[in-house]
Amino acid sequence: VELADSEEDYEESNEFTNEINSIDDDEDGDEGEEEDEEEDDDDEDGEEGETQANGSSIIHATPRLASLSDPERILKVREIGNDAVWVLSTAKPGNGVTQIRDSSIDTYWQSDGGQPHLINIHFLKRKSVCEIAFYLDYTQDESYTPKKISIRTGITFHDLEEIKQVELNEPVGWVSIPLHAEPDPLDDDEDENDADMDNESESQNRRRKPVRTFLLQVCVVSMHQNGRDTHVRQVKIFGPRSETEFTMRRAPVVSGKS
């Protein structure tokens, strides 16, 4: 290290040192930004980690079901379970269809036979279905609580196809499973409408059409703790409201003058 011979040399030396420090600070800043980007990537990977390698999704239970409690959501969907015929694969006496449709979380369906356990929901005509929800309670039902559920649709039992598979981890509350049909690449009208949209997320939502089906089958593939039979406390199935229903529900009520 050479010593400065004069004040001018000393000042020049300081300027040179400051330049080096500023370069180091910039590099440190770049490294910090890179670390932040890596952390963001890790966060995104974590969110994507909700989908398992086998293609099934992890669904978490919530204490309230939006489709039954949120006013805005209620304007868009309605419960259509009463439009269907419900058939269970097996059931203990007094623990059947009535118990999963009575809107009470204190009652439940209990299967009584070999796996898998099935809930078959038959519609007399093709229906649009956008959501199916279950009320489950691991704290009370333990090994009877479903662990893996498969949702299948079709016209008859012979052409059923799985459209959704979910895994649950000790759920207590409502488990909501959204149901969407695959987008049709030949739907030109939808593509033209999407092209006019500024927000890509809105465009994607427009592409998510509800499933249209005659038969919806719920298959309880496995239970917690390798249980044999299952308990399901409530099942609700929802379809989108028609434009007429939506408009009528949003329209303000105007009282006439006496």
**Per-residue pLDDT for 211 more than 90?**
yes
Three-state secondary structure call for residue 31: helix
Q: How high is the pLDDT of residue 70?
A: 96
Q: How high is the pLDDT of residue 118?
A: 98
Three-state secondary structure call for residue 253: coil
**CA–CA dist 136, 240 (Å, integer):** 24
Exposed/middle/buried for residue 243 (C-beta within 10 Å: 0-12, 13-18, 19+)? exposed
Q: How high is the pLDDT of residue 237?
A: 98
Q: Cβ distance 238 to 77 under 8 Å?
A: yes
Q: Cβ distance 175 to 136 under 8 Å?
A: yes
* C-alpha pair distances (Å), 52 with each of 68, 115, 126, 177, 257: 29, 23, 31, 16, 61
**CA–CA dist 222, 158 (Å, integer):** 22
Closest CA to 122 of 153, 98, 150: 153
Which tokens go with 183?
Answer: 């987008």
**CA–CA dist 181, 130 (Å, integer):** 9
**CA–CA dist 96, 109 (Å, integer):** 5
Q: How high is the pLDDT of residue 56?
A: 77
**Per-residue pLDDT for 76 more than 80?**
yes
Residue 118's DSSP bridge partners are 219
User: End-to-end CA distance of the chain, in Å?
Assistant: 100
* C-alpha pair distances (Å), 129 with each of 77, 89, 180: 9, 22, 8
| 95-121: pLDDT as tens digits | 999 999 999 999 999 999 989 999 999
Range in 88-92, 138-142, 203-207 the model is least confident about: 203-207
**Mean pLDDT for the chain?**
79
**How large a percentage of the chain has pLDDT more than 70?**
63
pLDDT band at 208 (very low <50, low <70, confident <90, very high): confident
Query: Tell me, what amino acid is at 237?
Result: I
Which tokens go with 167?
Answer: 């895994």
**Per-residue pLDDT for 74 more than 50?**
yes
Q: How many residues does the chain have?
A: 258
pLDDT band at 30 (very low <50, low <70, confident <90, very high): low
pLDDT band at 252 (very low <50, low <70, confident <90, very high): low
Structure letter (DSSP) for residue 185: T
The gap from C-alpha 30 to its chain's centroid, in whole angstroms, comes to 37
Which tokens go with 175?
Answer: 């488990």
DSSP letters along 125-137, please?
Answer: EEEEE-EEEEEEE
| 118-161: pLDDT as tens digits | 999 999 999 999 999 999 999 999 999 999 999 999 999 999 99
Prediction pTM value: 0.70
Q: Cβ distance 131 to 176 under 8 Å?
A: yes
pLDDT band at 38 (very low <50, low <70, confident <90, very high): very low
Which residue has better confidence, 130 or 52?
130
